Structure 1
C-alpha cells in the first residue's frame, strides 16, 4: 500500500505543474512565452544483462528489437526542464557456451521480453546553453536527462537441455519474479514490476517554430538481475532448473538501452522563433525551450549629452513675448495688452490699459443711476518707500475713491496683490509684501468700505517684478500693491504653491 502511495505522489508532483495559466505567465520580463511540448520517440532497443553475447551488436539467435515512446515536456527555464516519459518495446537476448571447464557440456539459452512498459519522471539540463551560452549553436539543443520510475516486463525463457537436446519453453514470470517491487497480471501473463532509473543524452535541431527533430540515446538501469529470468551464477546452469529458480545471483543488475529518432511538437499560442539571434517581442511568442528571455527585455535608452541637447531643443517651448512679464508704466496691465503703455504712475486704467478718470466714473454712476450689478474692470498701482508698508498720501486719495466706487457697485470685488523689490531674502520679501497688502486692506476698511469680505489678498514678494531691479526707477516700480477691481464672477483662485491669501 505504501508503494502505491509513492507512485501516486510522483504522478501528482508532475501533474501539479500543469497549471492552466502556465502559457500566460511571464519569464524575466513583460513578454509571454510558451513552455510546453510533446516528443515522440521511435528506435531500436538493446538488452544489457546475463543472456547476451555482445553489448552493441546482435549475438546468435538474437533479432533486432525496437520500441517507441512519448514524453510531455515542461520547460522551467532555458536550461532546466522536466518531462513525463513513457516507453513500450521488446527485448531479446541469447547466450551459448560451456557450463564449466570440467564438464565440457554446452548450453543454449535465449529469452524474449515481448512487451515491456516503462514510465519515468525525468529532469533535463540544456548542456550547450549551460556551457556555451545563447549565441553559439542557436538552432541546436543538447539535453542530458536523468529520472526515476517503474518498468513492467514479462520474459519467456527458452533453455535447451544439453544432455537431451530438449527445448524448454518456459513462461518464467511468477509471483516470485521480484522481491523488491511486485507483479501484475495482464492477459493471463504475469508482469514483473521494478524500479527503473533512466539516464541519457539527446540532440535536437529546431526545424520550425512548431517542430524540432533530434536523436536520443537512453540507458535504463533496472533494479533487478532477472529481466532475462536468470540469476547470473554459473553454477545455476549445471541444473537447467536453476535458470528459473529466482534465487539471489552473482551478476550485476540488468538494464536496457534505446537509440531513437525524436520529433517534438511545441505547444502554445502564436509560435515564432528567433532569426539570426534577434528577437521581436511583437511578432508572437517564443518558446522557452529555445529563446533567451533576456533578449526580449528592451535595453534601457541612455542618451548621450548630444542626444539630451537635441531632445531638449526639440521639446523647448517657443519663446514667450517678454512684454507679457513687463509693465513699463506700472498701471497693472502688462505691456503686451496695454493700449496706453505710458500712463502716469498711479493712474486708474481699464482692462486695456487706457487711463480713466475715476472721479468721472463715480459721478456718472451717481448721475445715471446705473444698475448695481454692472461692474467695469479697473486697474491701478500704489507704490511704497523702501522697506516700508505705510500708505503714501497720494495713494490714500486713490484708495478713498476706490472705496466710494465699490460702495456704489456692490457686485464688484477688489484684489490687492503685494510685491517688493529684490533687495532682501525671499522669505523677508514675501512677509513685507503681505504687510503692504494688509496696510492697504486696513485703509479700505477704515475708509468705510461696505462688505470687507469683497477684498481678496495675494502677495508674492520679489517673484513678480514689473521692471529690472538694477535701477532706482525699477526698484520703485516693483515696490507696489496692485489694485484690481473686477466683477465677482471673474474672481478665480490663482495662488501659487507656498503662498496664502
Structure 2
C-alpha cells in the first residue's frame, strides 16, 4: 500500500515538471516604477533615479499562502503500519532574493503495529492489564498538531544565462512546538487481547518464525483487534501540556521543489522531517521484542521519535502594488538588461581623437599625420586629384594631363607639343595668330564668409555673359583666392563654384569654357576674378576640398 503511494507521488512529480516547463512566467518588474517601492525605501529610490546611488531599492513583494496534503508517518519504537494522512497550511514572505520566512501549521495522523511480540512491557502503564510474561503486540494511533517558523533558502532563481526559471528548489529549517495525542488498542472492549495475541504467536511465531510471514501476522492482528484505541499512551512524567495534550518543542528540516504555473499560482512537492523532544509519539519508550529465533529479549531505546510529512501543495501569491515573491525573480535581470540596452545609466559622450585635424577620427584615419589644411578623402588619405603621385596640398598643377606625366616634385608636368603642331607653334611664336580679344572681364565681390551672389554681382555676371557669348573661342578662367586654412580653401572653392554655376545654369554658357581655380595667392579673399584663360590649362570642375565644412553655412 505504501509503495503504491510513493510511486503515485513520484509519477505526479514528473507530470508537474513537464507542465511547469510549458508555464509562462511574467516579466520582471520595472526598477524605475516607484509604485512598488515601500515608503521607507523611497529615499533610496530617489537617489537611484537621480544617478546618485547605483543600486535600485528593493520592491514590495507579495505574500504566499499555501495548502499541503500528503503522507504522514512516525519513526519510533513501534513500526508504522503504513503512512497516514497529513495536511498543512503556511504563509511565506521573502526577505530577499535568497532567504524567506515561512510560518506553517500542520496536522498528521497515522497508526503503527509491530509484527513481533514483546514481553517486557511492564514499564508502560498502557499495558497494565496484561500479566507479566504475556505476549503483547505494540500498536498505536497518533494525532499530531504542530506550528513552526522556518527559514527557507533558494538559489535557483539566480540565473546567469537565462532571464527566468519555471521552478525553484529550496531547503528549510525551523523551530516550533507540537502537541500530540497517542492512543493504544490494548483492550477488546474491557478485556485484554491475551488470548488473541497468543493465537497469533502460536500460529506464526515460535521456532518457525520467518520475516516473510510479517504481512500475514499483521493481517491476523488486524482481524483480531477492534480498532478502538481506547487506552492513553505512555507519557513522560512532568511533561508540559497544552489543551490537555503533551507539548514538546520541535525542530524541522526539509527540502522541496516548486513549479510555477503563472504569476499567482504554483505547485510544490516537499518532504519535511520533524524531531520533537520526546520518545513517546508511538506510546512506547523502549523497543522490547521477543526474538523467538534466539529466545533472547531485547530492550533498546531510539532516544527521540521523529515524524515525516511528504506532501503535494498548491500555493497562491497575494498582494496589491507588489511584485512577485522575490524567490521567483532573478536579481541579475536589471544589471544584464541595463548593460545590454541602457535606459537609466549615464553614458559619457564619446570623445574621438583626431590628431591631425583633418575631420577623420584616428581610429579610421589611414594617414594620421596629414598636414593642416591638406584635402583628404573619407579614409583620411591626402587627395591626389590627377593621380600623378603628388598629393594635392603639394601639387602646383592640380590636374596634370596623363600625357604630361611623370611630373616633378611640385606636381608640374612637361607636355611636349605634338609633331603635327610644330608649324602652328612656330606661327604662334612669330605672332601669326592672335590671342583672344575678349577684353577685360569683371570681378565679383562677396560679403565676408558668404558664398551667396548679391544682386549687383548677378548684374555684373549678366554683362560678362554677353562678352563671353560674343567670343565663343575664348576660355574663361574663374579665380578665387586664399588658402591659409581649410575653411579658407573651402570658402574660395564655394565662391568660384557659385560664379561658374550661375553662368552655366542662368546664362547658358557651356561648362567646358571655364577653368576652375581656387585658393590662389595674390588676390583679395572676398573677390573672384574672371580672366581670359585662352592658352591656359586647368580643370573645368574640381571636387570640394573640405565638403564637411560646408554644412555649417
TM over 0.5: no
Name the TM-score class by shorter chain: 0.3 to 0.5
> What's the TM-score, normalizing by structure 1?
0.44
- Give the number of the structure whose residues are more often strand, by fraction: 1
